[in-house]
């Protein structure tokens, strides 16, 4: 296992370099100069200032020099400075990722608690030959969740729970009067974005857990456990659930990464200052240092999440071994 982890860690470096090359090439292929666009938005038409800012950000250098300079600084922990905001890219990404990480983590927890639990419960109900109306209801609810777009649910919740009833806040990460350290206030701001972001994923993991658990409960070793007279809870949750967790862990690892980058619309609806909103704004305004830094950070998280999931495989299922 240790050799496998070491090889995977070593493979991360060339993979990130390849990602950075692709992102750098795409950013340079976008029409418009980032400095000129920034100054035009500020109603500044000064060719000398444009040239000075290009020199500052190295945009007058040949493309290979620009890329090498950025890459060497990145490996030193310096992602450069935002052209539009004049702040360190690392500071912008840290704030954005912290906010996105909080809502993504809450969404994954909601998926695990509701999606996995209801999926396993649906499989148990299906296996115990309960009334068909209950079995079909538990099978169709996740399909309904998958059929409703998350942004539509988000708008509906804003109108009902935020505007009409006034129960929950509808924008931002905190109330200025409460302060940034008020966890109760943060929790209230997290409720609506978390539900909107996690709804479809809850439905998908509900179906995955249900279908996987049903297949597992048909295996011969489960029948053997029943034949030995083991308690039902032991058969279902110690024998059946352990095997079911393998595909669920894969789903959870990929889900967390997709939620980190797939929350653009939800962050816009709820004015949530996360990495998705930052990346969209930076792309529109050609803020190349922020775009490249955010892309590398997101790619790194995907890679490490996949590695963590692979390691969990061997812990959950002893049959999995890596050379």
Residue 321 lies in a domain: no
Last residue of a domain, one of 74, 104, 132: 74
Same domain, yes or no, for 69 and 103? no
Please tell me the predicted confidence (pLDDT) of residue 296: 81
Residue 85 located in a structural domain: no
Domain boundary among 42, 74, 106: 74
Predicted pLDDT at 206: 84
Q: How many domains does the chain divide into?
A: 2
In a domain, 12, yes or no: yes
| SS3 (DSSP) at 229 | coil
Token pair of 229 as six digits: 């007279």
pLDDT value of residue 79: 79
User: Residue 155 domain-assigned?
Assistant: yes
Q: What is the pLDDT of residue 282?
A: 81
Q: Which helix (H) or strand (E) holds 114?
A: none
Q: How many CA atoms lie within 13 A of 190 on its CB side?
A: 19
Which structural domain range is residue 132 located in? 96-316
| Alpha-helical segments (H) within 129-219 | 132-147, 150-157, 183-216
Q: Which of these three, 40, 74, 108, is where a domain ends?
A: 74
Q: Are residues 50 and 105 in the same domain?
A: no
Check residue 239 and give its pLDDT: 65
Do residues 113 and 189 both lie within one domain?
yes
Tokens of 24: 């750098």
pLDDT along the chain (323 residues), means of 10: 70 79 79 72 71 77 83 79 80 83 83 84 75 77 79 81 80 60 73 82 83 76 70 68 72 70 73 80 80 81 74 61 53
Please choose, from the candidates 307, 300, 304, 308, the residue with its C-alpha nearest in 3D space to the C-alpha of residue 93. Answer: 300
Q: Which residues of 219-254 are buried (b: 16+ CB within 10 A; e: fewer)?
A: eeebeebeeeeeeeeebbeebbbebbbbebbbbbbe
Q: How far apart are CA 293 and CA 301, in angstroms?
A: 12
Same domain, 177 and 119: yes
In a domain, 89, yes or no: no
Do residues 194 and 158 both lie within one domain?
A: yes
pTM for the model stands at 0.69
Residue 119 within any structural domain of the chain: yes
- Let me know whether 180 and 275 are in one domain: yes
Are 144 and 26 in the same domain?
A: no
């Amino acid at each position: 296992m240790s050799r496998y982890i070491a090889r995977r860690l070593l493979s991360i470096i060339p993979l990130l370099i390849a990602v950075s090359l692709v992102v750098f090439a795409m950013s340079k292929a976008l029409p418009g100069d980032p400095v000129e666009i920034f100054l035009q938005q500020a109603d500044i038409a000064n060719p000398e200032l444009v040239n000075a800012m290009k020199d500052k950000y190295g945009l007058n250098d040949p493309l290979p020099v620009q890329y090498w300079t950025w890459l060497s600084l990145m490996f030193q922990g310096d992602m450069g400075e935002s052209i539009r905001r004049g702040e360190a890219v690392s500071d912008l990404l840290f704030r954005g990722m912290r906010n996105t990480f909080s809502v993504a983590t809450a969404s994954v927890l909601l998926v695990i608690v509701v999606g996995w639990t209801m999926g396993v419960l649906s499989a148990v109900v299906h296996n115990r030959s309960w009334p068909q109306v209950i079995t079909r209801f538990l099978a169709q609810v996740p399909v309904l969740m998958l059929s409703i777009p998350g942004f539509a649910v988000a708008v509906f919740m804003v109108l009902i729970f935020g505007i009409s009833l006034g129960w929950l806040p509808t924008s931002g990460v905190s109330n200025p009067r409460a302060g940034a350290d008020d966890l109760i206030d943060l929790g209230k701001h997290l409720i609506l974005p978390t539900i909107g972001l996690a709804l479809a994923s809850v439905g998908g993991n509900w179906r995955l857990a249900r279908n996987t658990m049903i297949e597992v409960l048909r295996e011969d070793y489960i029948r053997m456990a029943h034949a030995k007279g083991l308690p039902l809870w032991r058969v279902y949750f110690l024998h059946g659930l352990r095997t079911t967790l393998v595909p669920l862990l894969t789903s959870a690892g990929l889900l967390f990464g997709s939620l980190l980058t797939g929350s653009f619309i939800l962050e816009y609806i709820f004015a949530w200052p996360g990495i998705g909103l930052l990346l969209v704004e930076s792309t529109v305004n050609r803020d190349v240092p922020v775009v490249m830094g955010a892309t590398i950070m997101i790619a790194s998280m995907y890679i490490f999440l996949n590695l963590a999931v692979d390691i969990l495989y061997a812990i959950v299922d002893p049959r999995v071994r890596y050379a």
